[in-house]
Each structure stands twice: as C-alpha cells, then as structure tokens.
Structure 1
Amino acid sequence: MPADQHDDPFEERFAAALHETGGGFDTDRASLAARGVVRGRRKRFVRRAAVAGGAASVVLACVGGALVLRPGGTATEAVPSSATASAKPKPSITARLATDEEMIETLENLLPKGDFSEERGTGTEPTDDRKVPAPSAGLVFDDGHGAAAIGVSVGRVQPGGTTARQAARCPDRVAIPYDACKTSRLADGSVVTVLQGYEYYDRRADTKFWSAELVTPTGQHITVSEWNAAAEKGKPVTRTDPPLSPAQLTRLAAAEEWRLIANALPEPLPEPELPGSDLHARTHLLALLPKGLKVTGKSSDDGDYAYAVVDDGKGRSMVQVNVQPDMLDSAGDLFGSNSETLPDGTRIAVKQGPGDRGHQVMWTVDTMRADGKRVVISAFNAGTQNEAATRETPALTIAQMRKMALDALWWSGS
C-alpha cells in the first residue's frame, strides 16, 4: 500500500523502491515514483518492533569490561575482578540503555516548555528473542501556539555507507518539492541535514514536514521529525509552521543523550548492495531518448531509477524510468487481460490516464521479461509530477516509449 494511504500517523516516511510496492504506477503515482529517488531517506516517526543490527544480549561488549544495566537505565563499565584492574580509574559513561518511558522522558526534557500528550516510546531493552529494538519516541507537543507531532528515532549506520551518504545531502527537488534544505557539518564532524518540506508532495493539504537527520563520524544516526499538526496525516493543521526552528531541530538531533543511547545498540550489519545498484538507469535513459529533444534537467544518481526533463519546443515534459529485477511474483497484478505478450515472453502494458495535478496526464509503458526483470517508462505533460500541465500531452509518444522500454540496452548488464 502506498505510504500516503496509511492511516497510522507513525508509519514509514518512505518505503523502499518501487519494486517493493508491486502495484507500479496505478495509485498515488507521484509518491511511488519519488521513492525510487529517495529510497530510505526519511525515518519512521515512531518505529515499531524493528530490529537494530541483529541479535544482542543485555550485556554489551566493551573494552576492559562489559556494559551492564544499572538502576535508572544507565550503562556503566563493569570492572574486571583482578586487583590490578580494580585500581584503575572508573571511565566515564559512554553508553546508555533506555526504557520506553525513558525515551519519552528524554525527548520531553530536550523540548521547549509546553504541554505533552499522546506519548509513545520504544527503548533499548532486548525483546524475548534477545534482540534490541530500534529506540524511538514520539508525542504531541503544544507550546501554546498549536498542537504538533514530534518524533525522534535513534540508530547506528555504517560510517560512509549508503544511509550515511544519503543523510548528508538534500533530496532531489524535482522529485521532492520543499521550501528549504541545508546540510551542515558540526564541530565534531557530524553531518546534519535539515529539511523544510511538506507531508504531501502534491500539496493536497497544508501539512508541513520538517526534519533534521544527523550522522556522526562513528555512525550514530539520529532523526528528528515534526509537523504543524497533531499527526502526520489525518489531523487538521494547527499552526503555520512546526514548532521547532531549523536551529532547534539541529540542537535536538545533536543532543548527547541520543548518542549515548545509540552507543548501546549493536554494531550495524554491513549494508547489503541495493537491488539494481549495478544498473545505470540515467545513462541508459539519456542514451535512448529520441532525437530532437532538449534535456533541461536530469536526476543526479545512476542506479535503478532515473528521470530527465525534456523539451521539444512545446514545453517541458518529465520522462522517468524504473528498472526492477525479480518481479515475477507481481506479474499477475501488473499485466492484465489488455496486456500484450511477445514471442520471447516479454509482457507489455500501456496505461494513459490523469496525473497528480490539474490537467496533468501520465503515460506509462510497463514491460517485464520472462526472467522477471521489469522496465517501466513514464512521461508527463509537465516538467515535474508536482506541477500543473505545461503542454497538452507528453513530449514522447507511446511508440517511442515502447521502443525505449524494450531496448536491449536494459538487458546488457552494463
């Protein structure tokens, strides 16, 4: 189900890539296509029983001893039994285990003066299967100017890994419209990205979404999110802007308390290679565009999703592609009775319908080879999915899109 259709205000901010939706471009097309660009960018407001880094016991490894839980939820170093070791000075606290209630209390203590309600929290206490949940906290905060949802999530990532790199840059503005975004480096080397955007890409509601995502040099990962409503979705706007300014969001994300909690989490597992990361969608898309089109914009990354904004002299038109391996389990949903099957087993479905803004149309050619590899080409009669139509029809014809989607370049493995 598309993220924008969830009723729970604490659902995942961004799902994984388009191939995880299975439904292609049939519903909430702007959100679905955007996920191909911003895979994993925004965190869950309050993560549920997700597991951070795999199994871990209550006792966590530490140089010179073991981190053990003390009254009050603080992890300190247990001194070895030898007389020589016991004479060493006690080190400072470097990690902190937290209960559900302590996660909520920590968030409340770090916020400005105001009223709190609808508190939710998940601490670092191991579950029955000895796994450590991903710690988080969320609540509704009212500083006297309107109720607002605020949440924080704490984790660990591989320093220099994909998640860390994504956190250190602003999203593509063509796919994700926003008012402001800034990435800064703090004095300790941490990188924080503050985004001031909207809950809905197409601005169907005035709900604003602001966030600060921070990654330290050692991989501590803290995300703070806030809205100008009492919930991410389903509640009316209560104020013009969320309550915390960008500077306050940065300070909240950089608070030492979250880093101590992050240190009590297991080491992050090595990041697996993303499906399709060996693909070059942008390179192939640009190479396959029909002659006579002027490219006025393009996505910044190669991978399994790409877009280009083209102009044939009649106005801007966005063209996008998503390449998805192993989609055979979704073939029945994607290719109905009106689809075509070629002699080599490749299936083709063509869809022409409305886009997500006024008078916008979206044309799609969806293809899947017999081995399950899917190539989807879509074109709009606007420069982005989030603006009104700039022309009557897309700059590409269905025949041109079909030729692009079936080109052997997608199957070359290069």
Structure 2
Amino acid sequence: MSSDSSPVPSAAAPGLTDEQMVAALAGHLSGHRVVGTRGIGTASAAGGAARPLAELSIDDGKQHFVVTVDLRREPAVSEKELARAAVLCDQEGRKSVICTRVPRDGDALLTLRRPLVPVPGLSWSYALATPSGDRVTVTEWSSAAPVGAAGALPDPPLDLGRLREIVLDPVWIRALTGLPVAAPPEVQQPAAPLGG
C-alpha cells in the first residue's frame, strides 16, 4: 500500500487515533501474517505520559517478529545542534551493531542500526529526526528463539528497504500535528555534602 492511502488526520482532530496508527503501519505489511496489534494514537497520548506508537506482531512461519513505529516531539533545534546532539555512530562502542547516519533532504537526519548477525533479541531500526523536533523510529526485532532451536535466525521478514520506506512515510509527520513537545529529562542535582 502506498503512503497516499495511509489514514490522514481529520480537520477536527489533529493526529491519528489508536486504530489509524495501526492501520498506517499495517498498510506496509501486506503479504505478512499479522498475529497481534497495539496502537496508541497521538490524540490518546497528547494528554498523558504515553508515547504514540503502532506495534504489529508478525509470524513468518518460523519466528515471531515485532514491528513498532514510535513517535515523539522534542524541542526544536538548529541543523547544527541536531547533528551535534546526536550520538555519533562510530562512538557507540557496540561491535555487534552497524550504525549508519545520513542527512535527509538537507535538514533531517536518518539513522540506521542493524546487528552484524541476526540473532534472537537484536533489532533493526531506522530513526528520522528533524530540527523542528519530529522524531519517528521504526524498529523490527525478533522474539526469543523457540525451545530447541539452534543457530542464528534468518534475516527479518522486512528488509532494510522496507523499514526505510515505513519511517519516511509522511503519515507519521502528519500524525505528530498537535502533539505537545516532550519535556526534557530532569537533571539530577548533586546531593549536598554531609555536615555542610
């Protein structure tokens, strides 16, 4: 299904409902057997601590995989600050993960993380970050290997090209309309010295 057929927010209620979030992701999973869904729409998340997401479980006949789209809005930053604030891929220090970061359309940043070997419990993800504060992350991960299984898992059902297509679907940016900016994490103050 093309992104043009993805659900669009109505004029009366900006963002997407729980069901529309799931439908937008499911449109990218045609041909796969979906065995479970979960959705938290931007309208549901606007007034509470929940983060908007769409999550679908896929059974490929050998394993269960989960695909999740996670949305959030952060304070706006300059393009320079966006590049500087992001953790550099080559400084992650995890030799089991390949991280690739590329500019997207001149002002956004697209980051790919994938395991060197597809083994149980590791994930494949694309993340889109814009200076305006929009953050979209699509992650696919495997369930634990079934009892008695040996060896590494095969490649995930959705290849990296499909994950990239999902994260770049404009429906997610439209879904973020009206979502409040997330509060920055609280900075822990050092404890006062004893006897002082």
Q: Shorter-chain TM-score category?
A: 0.7 to 0.9
Backbone CA RMSD of aligned residues: 3.7
Distance in 2 separating the partners of 1:73 and 1:189? 24
User: 1:266-305 alignment to 2 at 5 Å?
Assistant: 266-269=180-183, 271=184, 274-275=187-188
Partners of 2:130 and 2:62 lie apart in 1 by 33
For 1:329-340, list aligned pairs within 5 A. Answer: none
* Bigger relative contact order (CA 8 A; separation at least 6): 2
TM-score (norm 2): 0.73
Cα drift, residue 146 of structure 1 = 4.0
SS where residue 134 of structure 1 aligns? coil
Aligned counterpart, 2:51: 134
Counterpart for residue 67 of structure 2: 150
Aligned with 1:193: secondary structure?
Answer: strand
Distance 1:209 1:131, change over 3 A: closer
Instruction: Give the percent of matched residue pairs that are identical in Structure 1 and Structure 2.
Output: 26
Question: Does 2:172 correspond to 1:172?
Answer: no
2:10 partner amino acid: A
Change (3 A) 1:75 1:165: farther
Query: Given the superposition, is the C-alpha separation of residues 173 and 235 from structure 1 closer, same or farther in structure 2, using an over 3 Å criterion?
Result: same
Contact 2:39 2:52 in 1 (8 A): yes
Picking from 243, 246, 254, the partner of 2:168 is 254
Give the SS at the match of 1:118.
Answer: strand
Structure 1 residues 1-400: aligned runs within 5 Å: 74-76=9-11, 96-126=14-44, 130-131=47-48, 133-143=50-60, 146-160=63-77, 165-167=84-86, 169-170=88-89, 172-174=91-93, 176-187=94-105, 189-197=107-115, 206-227=120-141, 229=142, 231=143, 234-236=144-146, 239-269=153-183, 271=184, 274-275=187-188, 325-326=190-191, 370=194
Consecutive unaligned residues of structure 2, counting only runs of 5 or more, are 1-6
Partner SS for 1:248: helix
Name whichever of 244-253 and 214-223 sits farther off: 244-253
Match for 1:153: what amino acid?
A: D
Please give the per-residue CA displacement for 1:85-104, whole angstroms capped at 9, x wherever unaligned: xxxxxxxxxx8422222211
Aligned partners of 2:36 and 2:82: how far apart in 1? Answer: 30
* TM-score calculated relative to the size of structure 1: 0.38
Would the aligned equivalents of 1:157 and 1:163 in 2 still touch at CA under 8 Å?
Answer: no
Q: Is the 8 A contact 1:124 1:133 kept in 2?
A: no
Please list every run of 5 or more consecutive structure 1 residues that lacks an aligned counterpart in the other structure: 1-71, 78-94, 277-324, 329-368, 372-414
For residues 296-346 of structure 1, what are the alpha-carbon distances to aligned partners after superposition, in whole Å with 9 as ceiling and x for unaligned?
xxxxxxxxxxxxxxxxxxxxxxxxxxxxx33x9xxxxxxxxxxxxxxxxxx
Q: CA deviation at 1:111?
A: 2.8
